[in-house]
Amino acid sequence: MALPFLLGIDTGGTYTDAVLFREGEGVLAKAKALTTRHDLAVGIAGAVDAVLERSAAAASQIGLVSLSTTLATNALVEGQGGRAALIMIGFGPDDLARGGLSEALGNDPVIFLPGGHDVHGNETQLDMTALEEIMPDLARTVSSFAVAGYFAVRNPAHEMWVRDRIRELSHLPVTCSHELSSKLGGPKRALTTLLNARLVSIIDRLVGSCEGFLAGRGISAPMMVVRGDGALISAAEARLRPIETILSGPAASLVGARYLTGLDQAVVSDIGGTTTDVAVLDGGRPKLAEEGAVVGGHRTMVEAVALRTYGLGGDSEVHIDDRGLETRFTLGPRRLLPLSLAAMAHGGIVLATLERQLRAGHAGRHDGRFAVRTGVPDAVAQGLPPQEQALYARIGMAPTALNDLLTMNSQRTLLDRLVARGLVHLSGITPSDALHVLGQQNQWRADAARLGLELAARRKNGAGREIAASPEDLAERIVSRLTRQSAEAVLAACLAEDGAEAIDPAVSLAVDRALRRTPGIARFSVSLDRPLIGLGASAPVYYPAVAGMLGAEPVIPADADVANAVGAVVGQVRASVTVVVTSPDEGRFIVSGAGERLLILGEEEALAAGRERAIAAALAQAEADGAADAVITLSQDVDAPEIEGARKLVEARIVATATGRPRIAAV
């Protein structure tokens, strides 16, 4: 009997990839389609239908579908996501200054409620009056709620009461902090919960789109999603805890890089349309971030691979500083819709506008730039202030030139807010357009790319000279800039891994001389101690030069363009549960975590109860996450110093981890 096919799907900011895989045979077919943000199922259908056609496989032969995505990562990097209300129980306004919470909150509402618990789970009375008063307004102006209680990891009762009341009054998604992390550190846990709440609608749309497409094709296999640590979880669990899918795509690419190259020691750099992700393989395994993943400048409590995510990719915004005698270029962190791609969908409008701007006797302030709706459901645009709503109403599903759209300087800020909410795409020149001009990419409209770069090249710098001699000249400079920023990103991640994070390659004169190979009496050089694996569709274009700049051996596997989708199907389910035992009084012990707290007399009895609870919860979570025949590993860390000659239990942490391959449907 033939083994079932495994279908891997990766939904990125620009492309959706699909691979058909079988144990013992590897990748049988692969395909790409444009990610369609207005209806993700369209891009998924394009990629999956293509691999089924190329492999001649029947949908009924698919036993597992596994999905990785950069949508959550990209949303945080670009500052997107739904508007969420943060409910903080037992905290005060001063706590917003801790853990980066205030910056992450931005203009979203926060409500402080009296209540919470102490380190042993004893409660302060909860008062929900403030919540009851403001709920009618919040239910109309936010898309989700985040609830964080003081010491909720020791007693989640207040979070659960508030969650249930919000659901009763609003019927909107609610995330509780104890559902995401068992670690102390209330403000950081609140930040993680807030980000999770913002991502609910994004991941819900993705999973729903994928499920709808699969059902339409008669594929009834279990569906999994890659977590940020490379493990797999069921689609249902991913919908509840979307924050765990941040760094899903990069984690899948690391798993895929290990499978595709067989290398145990390597630096892995994955360039996509929006981001570049860099991590290190040691002993064949990616290192996990001990203090939580950092994405978009936010330090979360999410366990994920230790990698650096940079807003640098093939579709990065090109910033041209022409105020000085020499023109300077920088890329990112925002993603633009490449002109070559915009013209493929709306050729007449884009090309006609670019040609008109090129014929004009004077340069317009926003030449070569457009705005277009992303096509997300109208509900996502609820609660816009009047000025933003008015500007949004003037933007349609076809690109509008910014020269026509922006009549006042203040409107640029309004437009940036619409972009940040994921309602509008900006379109302009990108490195992808530069590659089209140079003939190194050809899947979109090279004529639009050439017009856009020609418009930009005629800009004058501080010396009164045009910033580039030709579109080709400008394209070469953009590609060179992406190569240099990629090298800086890889080097910054490696330095951080070595504990030398204080060295910033972007500003260090010594690093600059080393990367440029500047001649001199004192010569600087830099090199990596292991190969550089380049992943992503454009990796063959950029990474030989990036590796050369860094003195490393370049390794670009044959399936580098779909490494994420490969990693999605070769991973495992892994569920960890932490139970904590503390002793508030002599002879009395409290077991907290993975359920209601227990009061037990006797240390050994409490530890035994903690182990039993952790094992049961880990197995139950692994089953919910989609594992078959999970295996348990158990660790126990007891902090019990002698105080005045007597042993005193401060804290015991019991961690149970259940690991197994995902359930695969019989075919």
How confident is the model over 212-221, as a mean pLDDT? 87
573-660 folds as Translation Initiation Factor IF3 (3.30.110)
Residue 606 has, within 13 A of its CA and on its CB side, a CA count of 25
Read off the pLDDT of residues 367-390 as tens digits, 9 standing for 90 and up: 999 999 988 777 777 778 899 999
Question: How much is the pLDDT for 667?
Answer: 67
Dist. CA 164–CA 424, nearest whole Å: 34
How confident is the model over 261-270, as a mean pLDDT? 94
**How does the average pLDDT of the chain come out, rounded?**
88
Dist. CA 98–CA 520, nearest whole Å: 47
Contacts with 127 (C-beta within 8 Å, 6 or more apart), sequence order:
113, 114, 115
- In terms of residues, how long is the chain? 667
Read off the pLDDT of residues 92-122 as tens digits, 9 standing for 90 and up: 888 888 877 888 888 889 999 999 888 777 8
Higher pLDDT among residues 265 and 195, named by residue: 265
CA dist 363 to 319, 320, 337, 404, 453, Å?
17, 15, 22, 14, 13
Residue 386 has, within 13 A of its CA and on its CB side, a CA count of 0
- Provide the percentage of residues in the chain whose pLDDT is more than 90: 44
Tell if the pTM clears 0.85, that is, is over it.
Answer: no
Question: How much is the pLDDT for 37?
Answer: 67
Residue 5 is classified by DSSP as: E
Residue 79 is classified by DSSP as: T
Q: Are 17 and 9 in contact (CB under 8 A)?
A: yes
Closest C-alpha to 410, from 396, 391, 425: 391
Based on its alpha-carbon atoms, the radius of gyration of the chain, rounded to whole angstroms, reads 26
Is the bond preceding residue 333 a cis peptide, omega within 30 degrees?
Answer: yes
Closest C-alpha to 487, from 431, 538, 534, 430: 534
CB atoms within 10 A of CB 341: 26
Place of tokens 């999605």: 568
pLDDT of residue 587 exceeding 60: yes
Dist. CA 140–CA 109, nearest whole Å: 13
Q: Are 40 and 11 in contact (CB under 8 A)?
A: yes
Q: How confident is the model at residue 350 (pLDDT cuts 50, 70, 90)?
A: very high
> Which of 294-303, 529-538, 590-599, 652-661 has the weakest average pLDDT?
294-303
What is the full DSSP assignment across 216-278?
Answer: HTT--S-EEEE-TTS-EEEHHHHHH-GGGGTTHHHHHHHHHHHHHH--SSEEEEEE-SS-EEE
How confident is the model over 492-519, as a mean pLDDT? 92
How confident is the model over 420-446, as a mean pLDDT? 93
Question: How much is the pLDDT for 1?
Answer: 55
Closest C-alpha to 67, from 200, 216, 249: 249
Q: Are 654 and 610 in contact (CB under 8 A)?
A: yes
Question: How much is the pLDDT for 438?
Answer: 97
Question: How much is the pLDDT for 122?
Answer: 81
Question: How much is the pLDDT for 358?
Answer: 93
Q: Which amino acid is at 645?
A: G
CA dist 565 to 273, 539, 559, 571, 618, Å?
16, 16, 10, 11, 27
pLDDT of residue 346 exceeding 80: yes
First to last CA, the chain: 9
Question: How much is the pLDDT for 421?
Answer: 82
Closest C-alpha to 274, from 92, 37, 508, 103: 37
Chain centroid offset of residue 49 CA: 26
Question: How much is the pLDDT for 535?
Answer: 94
Higher pLDDT among residues 376 and 441, named by residue: 441
Contacts with 313 (C-beta within 8 Å, 6 or more apart), sequence order:
13, 14, 271, 272, 273, 274, 275, 276, 332, 335, 431
